[in-house]
Amino acid sequence: MSKVSKIAIVTGAGSGIGKAAALELLRDGWSVALAGRREQPLHEVAGESHAGDRALVIPTDVTDPDAVRHLFERAVQQFGRLDLLFNNAGVGAPAIPLEDLSVQQWRNVVDINLNGMFFCIQQAFRVMKAQSPRGGRIINNGSISAHSPRPDAIAYTATKHAVTGLTKAASLDGRQHDIAVGQIDVGNAQTELAQRMVQGALQANREMTVEPMMDVAIVGQSVLYMANLPLQANVMFHTVMATKMPFVGRG
């Protein structure tokens, strides 16, 4: 490991935005603990990166506080410290009327998108406060849905709005410990989660419209930019989106 290598944990690193961010960090010389529920995709990301022992695979269910604690302990044991948490793991629910959403579907989204994100923030604070030099950076993955909902997406929207609250509270509480906390809000990146928009997405007027998309690698580059800032500076909220997607205005 290079003596100048910084250390990151990326959750949801096996696909989509997490994969794109992990690859950008590894290409930039970071050492990265790749966390996710499915082990095989994590190994595929590590192999694609050609980063050798700078890529550490740690299968993790972020809804399990013990598994999250093990993730952070294992990463620090391997790399010695933690400079960045990209708090990315997230999931949606079926696009159905809210009254048809089951309790289990609701709880699954809340457990991953909100509880899991909090458990990771909590462990990151514990590590970053105690290490020397102290401090570090946390980047939470919000969403355009942290600002504006789509139809039939109440669970995802509610949790992503809640992520903004986590970001603000953790940013405030982290100041005294040199922990910078920010949020990246992504719109229409080409990922498995957003694939349905290529065929058509339900609009506010209930019409189906094919929406423009952007390369998910652009999001990885945005995360890398935020990650490489000195701790005296923080991007509190960063929105990166397909230029022509229907977001601003009265769509």
> Computed over its alpha carbons, how large is the radius of gyration of the chain?
18
Q: Is 156 a catalytic residue?
A: yes
Q: How far apart are CA 236 and CA 233, in angstroms?
A: 9
Tokens of 195: 């694939």
Short-list 123, 92, 74, 45, CA closest to 193: 92
Main-chain phi, psi angles of 200, to 5 degrees: 140, 135
Peptide bond before 41: cis, by omega within 30 degrees of 0? no
Catalytic residue among 156, 188, 190, 220: 156
d(CA 112, CA 62): 7
Which residues are catalytically annotated? 156
